[in-house]
A and B are shown apart, each in its own frame.
Chain A
Amino acid sequence: MTDIASRLSGAGTNALELRGMSRYFGALAALSDITLTVKPGERRAVLGSNGAGKTTLFNCITGDFLPTTGSIRLFGEDVTTFPAHERIRRGLRRTYQISLLFGGLSVFDNIYLACAGVSRGRFSMLRPRKNDALVAAAEDLIVTVNLAEHRETLVNVLSYGQQRQLEIALALAGAPRFILFDEPAAGLSPTERSDLITILTSLPEHIGYIIIEHDMDVALRVSESVTMMHNGRIFKEGLPQEIEEDPEVQELYLGGGHG
């Protein structure tokens, strides 16, 4: 399914299609029978309590590990057995809940690496010259994400909020078509939260995403549809408002058990 024809036939189909996907860790079913469809450009929030399988879902979609059963289609192409880098090169991106950045490198070098990863210059043993396309792409991106003033700062030294910002920047390198955001707002201050909402809502329309977010306020403002997960299964799907008002969801997530 890697030939051009099959990829072209993917045009106009769903951005992401999961069919009957399960993932077991030994006897534990971290995910069971997940069937999920996301249209191109659609923005989806995934909600659920701790251990609901949200991050496992992301890890399976990224290719950090393979699903035990089921299939994953990305823009119509079956990528179930593809390694992570092959999926990334097809336009998938992801951010991590706990920032996975290169702390000893400068902000610019981090962004440069992200741009290099999805380009053909990956293996270049020649240092970039002036007017190098990759350097230019990295320069553009650093401005887009408002980190230009910290260009040469070592990432270790950045504030937490700036690190989260950089985490998002890495996902925007190259030509992303579909992004998985894993709790991008966690630990951010109210101002940083509203900045994040601005970044997410001003993404180009063709870029769809799934966002895992505990903060209902953020989640419901940046998404068009909501999937509610519970114990590794999909529990409810619907519009943000429906989910918010659903009594079962309220029972389970918004207050149930907490008084």
Chain B
Amino acid sequence: MAVVDHKTFDTNDADKEGVSEPSRTGVYWAVGLILVILPAFTGEFILSDIVSRILVMGMIALSLMFLAGYGGMVSLAQLTIAGVAAYMTAVFGTSAITEISIGLTWWIAVPIAIIIAMIFGTMVGALSVRTEGIYTIMITLAISAAFFFLANQNYDIFNGFSGINQVLPPVFVGVNWGNTIPFYYLCLFLAAVSYALVLYVSRSPFGLALQGIRDNPRRMAALGFNVTAHRIAAYTFASLVAGVGGVLMVWMNTAISPGAVSIAVVIDVLVMAVVGGLGHPVGAFLGAAVFIILETFALDVLETLGLPGERFQLLIGIGFLVIIFWSDDGLLGLWRKWRERSAKRDPLLGDLEGDGK
């Protein structure tokens, strides 16, 4: 019942064979370099409201990509897990709501917040891993909805509807990490680490076994794997990524409120991951980029064209529809299709002939 079928494995292998090693390294260096020197060319708005947001939401989408792409478990709780980390950063750290915030220094508050998010995520996993497909989606959606209403109605910890504001990034080694450029670099660094970590773990024994469980849980049990424990551990790992994303999320907005963990945003994260593609970690960031760019500029584009600006949601929707309609794995699928068309394929084996370009 894997939501993502064997294509994912093929993707990885196609990547290995299709693009030669030097050219892939070249792409990494080029993208890395552009991201590093980006602040020299862009204004504050692009950096803080677009690129940093892409990186933060991309990390949360990445945690969903890890579970869905490698584990076949579509969890709608990943934003909520990030939200737990965000709220806990506010509760254990400092904020304007002094009756709630404990006021611990950031390097104690943040690890506590991430650990609580990981415990929460592990519990979500324990509840949902015995289910498959649509039922996993329903259980995690229910958890997300419950958390939203809890945060909305509880004033002792979550400060209800208005949430907790003035949750500022720390000043550390003489840098105010709340300033646009340092915060951008902080996001870039943590997003790059998360990306590399997910990619690394996916080829570790743990990650390989997770992909085996996705494709064939019964066989994996017959090879000695504890399928349930393995899936729960995958949730714990994904919660680490989501938790770090959640801490960045609260710092980025300098506040956390129920609106940030509402079902609408839960769906946004799902859309990002699916539109980007679940076959490879880079899909999460691509999806987040497309989503946030469309969300930010759709209104302007429509008004420039003389169309009513309030229809911008429609434009976003059509954009996603087009991607999903033409591709079996989001943007990654489109890219693969394009490459396959330009490369000759062995009709029998499906291998790319030569070092495809």
Contact = CB atoms under 8 A, between A and B. Distances in A.
Interface of A: 62-64, 83-85, 88-89, 93-94, 96, 100-105, 109, 112-114, 116-118, 121-128, 134, 154, 156-157, 170, 173-174
A173 B223 CA distance: 9
A88 B222 contact: yes
Interface string B215-235: 110111111111100100100
Contact of A122 (B7, B209, B237): B209
B218 A124 contact: no
Give the 3 A-B CB pairs with smallest separation, nearest first. Answer: A104-B9, A117-B223, A117-B224
Contacts, number: 104
B319 interface: no
B5 to A, nearest CB: 9
Nearest to B237: A125
Interface string B287-309: 00000000000000000000000
A121 B223 CA distance: 13
A137 B88 CA distance: 45
B201 interface: yes
A85 B224 CA distance: 4
Interface in B106-126: none
B173 interface: no
Pick the most buried of B8, B10, B208, B230: most chain A CB atoms within 10 A of its CB.
B208
Contact of B225 (A93, A109, A122, A124): A122
Given A83-B221, A104-B7, A173-B223, 20 more contacts: A64-B221, A85-B225, A102-B216, A103-B215, A104-B10, A105-B9, A105-B211, A109-B208, A116-B205, A116-B208, A116-B209, A117-B209, A118-B223, A122-B209, A123-B230, A125-B237, A127-B204, A127-B205, A157-B349, A170-B223
B13 interface: yes
Given A85-B224, A123-B230, A100 B212 contact: no
Nearest to A94: B222
A104 B221 contact: no
A238 to B, nearest CB: 30
Contacts of A103: 6, 9, 215
Given A83-B226, A104-B6, A113-B212, A125 B218 contact: no
Contacts of B219: 96, 100-102
Contacts of A63: 221
B28 interface: no
Nearest to B229: A123
A88 B221 contact: yes
Contacts of A118: 223-224
Nearest to A116: B205
9 contacts: A102-B212, A103-B215, A104-B215, A105-B211, A117-B225, A118-B224, A122-B230, A124-B206, A127-B200
Contact of A62 (B203, B206, B212, B222): B222
Given A117-B225, A118-B224, A126 B204 contact: yes
A194 to B, nearest CB: 27
A114 B349 CA distance: 25
B207 interface: yes
A124 B223 contact: no
Contacts of B7: 104
Interface in B231-263: 233, 237
A179 B356 CA distance: 44
Nearest to B351: A157
B113 to A, nearest CB: 22
A94 B349 CA distance: 30
Contacts of B224: 85, 88-89, 117-118, 122, 174
Contacts of B233: 123
> Which of A84, A114, A154, A174 is the most central at the interface, judged by chain B CB atoms within 10 Å of its CB?
A84
A85 B227 contact: yes
B209 A102 contact: no
A124 B211 CA distance: 14
B318 to A, nearest CB: 33
A122 B222 contact: no
A85 B228 CA distance: 11
A96 B222 CA distance: 10
Contacts of A83: 221, 226
Contacts of B207: 125
A155 B242 CA distance: 34
